[in-house]
Amino acid sequence: MTDTDTRMPLSDLLSSMTPIDGGARVHITPDWLQGRAVYGGLSVALSLQATQNVIGDGLPPLRSVQTSFIGPATSEVDIYPQVVRQGKSTAFVTVDMYSDDKLAARTTFCFGKARESRLAIANHDAPAVPSVDACGAFFEGRDGRNAGPNFAQHFNSRLADGGLPVAAAEQPEFTVWLQHKDPASRESLVGLTALADALPPAAMACFGERAPISTMTWMFDVLQAAPSTVDGWWLCRSSAEYTEDGYSAQAMTIWNTVGELVVIGRQNIAIFY
């Protein structure tokens, strides 16, 4: 666990990104690691920031993200965005992240303009949970000590429903209020992207002891053109729907503080338990 005074806020990390030919380079400090590798949510957030830096502000709102975590990313990474297609209303951008000259992650962003539609359907109502102030800590665990990986210490967390990691729970589900400790990261889409993967895999609620995990793929849809919430708090839920043969498939959902659905996604995780 890194010391609080040595951690680099997300906003400072993003501003340290430097341009290279066709992309961007950034040195990732140890406080953003998950084990020995860079936290997956940060990898996607950096890819989104590099896209904004290299391609510019001419893209429509972000609608969908698909990421494959191909290998570990450590320390310094090079990120290369490329527009693969741009039409009148949508644009697809593929972003490759390299670490030690090896491909670490490949992300495809889909951007799309809003269009008129007669349909408005939302089938994922926000769960009835206590307010942030009425919930106990999540990453700090039952004993109040910081029990999460290094990157988790960049977030304030409150357990709203479900169990804690490695609690031998019957149900593989977490529902947690999350907020960036860095105030400058609470309002941006890049900040939300970095936070959206912060919960541990839901299957870990059923672990009886600590064991390794590794995210294989992550996809999510952004359901609002400009997501917003109060004081940077987001209600995040992860639920494992099927776990067998060392892999777990889970659903992921994020609401803002007034109960509006903001993000819905899926993840496949390799588990070694």
Residue 35 in any domain: the answer is yes
Residue 141 to residues 36, 87, 145, 146, 162, Cα–Cα distance (Å): 22, 48, 6, 7, 13
Q: Which domain holds residue 17?
A: 4-114+126-271
pTM over 0.85: yes
Residue 179 in any domain: the answer is yes
Residue 28 in any domain: the answer is yes
Question: CB neighbours of 261 closer than 8 A, spacing ≥ 6?
Answer: 122, 124, 126, 223, 253, 254, 255
The pLDDT score that the predictor gives to residue 1 is 43
Domain count along the chain: 1
pLDDT band at 184 (very low <50, low <70, confident <90, very high): very high
Q: Which residue has the tokens 């609620």?
A: 205
The pLDDT score that the predictor gives to residue 3 is 47
Residue 121 in any domain: the answer is no
Residue 120 in any domain: the answer is no
CATH number at residue 10: 2.40.160.210
- The answer on pLDDT for 38 being more than 50 is yes
Residue 260 in any domain: the answer is yes
- The answer on pLDDT for 143 being more than 90 is no
The string of pLDDT tens digits covering residues 89-131 is: 999 999 999 999 999 999 999 999 998 889 888 888 899 999 9
Contact 52, 86 (CB under 8 A): no
Residue 9 in any domain: the answer is yes
Residue 257 in any domain: the answer is yes
Best CA proximity match to 48, nearest among 242, 246, 196, 191? 191
Phi, psi angle pair for 151, to nearest 5°: -60, -30
The pLDDT score that the predictor gives to residue 35 is 86
- The answer on pLDDT for 37 being more than 70 is yes
The radius of gyration of the chain's CA atoms, rounded to the nearest angstrom, is: 18
